[in-house]
Amino acid sequence: MTNGKMKKKIIIGNWKLNGSLNMIENFFKNLRIEMFQSSALDFVIAPPFPYLMNVGRMIRRYHNVFLGAQNVDLHLIGAYTGEISSLILKDVGVKYTIVGHSERRMYHLEKDAEIAKKFLLLQKEGIIPILCVGESLSEKRSGNTESILMKQIRPIIEMIRNTDFLKIMIAYEPVWSIGTGNSEDPSSVQKTAEFIKGYILDNLDIRREFLFIHYGGSVNSKNFQEFIEKPDIDGLLIGKCSIEYRSISEIFSKIK
Ligand code: 13P
């Protein structure tokens, strides 16, 4: 499954505040290694912090499966009780990290400028940040989706403009679609992904192949294909279904 430019698409499992040692053992016991060997998709698992090492050990046997984290602190080292730095994430083998998830914006009051700093810190360590953006239901209803997305993406563009950045990964997750069973229409996501790419290409010196737009919000093993087949949807960020080995197996067995 690649688009015209042969980009490899990616499935990112955001486990959020779910999981246990038992669940991890069971998950990998049931995830067939061969399924990933020839897969045209990469798979990233972002477990809660304490399980990074466990999941990291488990995925060593798998091809095309990588370790992700759900957040990072702004500081690198020192007296910041309860926080995790990009240095620590790199040390334990994390390759991707989600920043600015709407749940962090909502429950931890994270703001765009702070999220942009996290994005830059991660890039400096060679970890690929995945910036989450998305509009609320009222913003969608009032026709403000594009202006909200630009507001959320602009600080990143300003922050990395003069840096040696690797690539830009953005997860478009409409807030109203997360965990509700109401996913956005795939054609509408395709249009939004095109819009985001156009906005970044107009404002940053970057080649299209280094730009990745993902969709997240009530994606499951039944509806994922409609999204992943769109030319400008480069991957999916999956919450609930990503902790179910059956759903993940179904997704990877449908895509060869
Ligand atoms: P759900 O797949 O559970 O809707 O969650 C989406 C999400 O927030 C992934 O980051």
Q: What is the mean pLDDT of the chain?
A: 94
Residue 2 domain flag: no
Q: How far apart are CA 72 and CA 122, in angstroms?
A: 8
Please state the φ and ψ torsions of residue 237, each to the nearest 5 degrees: -110, 115
Residue 1 domain flag: no
Is pLDDT above 50 for 132?
yes
**Ligand 1 mean position to 79 CA, how many Å?**
32
Tens digits of residue pLDDT in 159-188: 988 887 779 999 999 999 999 999 999 999
Number of domains in the chain: 1
Query: Does the annotation place 16 within a ligand binding site?
Result: yes
Concatenate the DSSP letters of all residues of 6-44 into one string: -PBEEEEEE--S---HHHHHHHHHTS-THHHHT-SEEEE
Angle ∠(197,198,204) on CA atoms, nearest 5: 85
Residue 104 domain flag: yes
CATH number of the domain encompassing residue 201: 3.20.20.70
**Ligand 1 mean position to 236 CA, how many Å?**
10
Residue 4 domain flag: no
Q: How far apart are CA 129 and CA 119, in angstroms?
A: 6
Tell which residue, 232, 234, 245, has the closest CA to residue 13: 245
Q: Ligand 1: which residue has its CA nearest to atom 7?
A: 239
Q: How far apart are CA 200 and CA 211, in angstroms?
A: 9
Residue 3 domain flag: no
Tens digits of residue pLDDT in 194-231: 999 999 999 999 999 999 999 999 999 999 999 999 99
What pTM value is reported for the model? 0.95
Is pLDDT above 60 for 4?
no
Q: Ligand 1: which residue has its CA nearest to atom 9?
A: 239
Residue 111 domain flag: yes
Tens digits of residue pLDDT in 15-39: 999 999 999 999 999 998 888 877 7
Q: 27 lies in which domain range?
A: 9-254
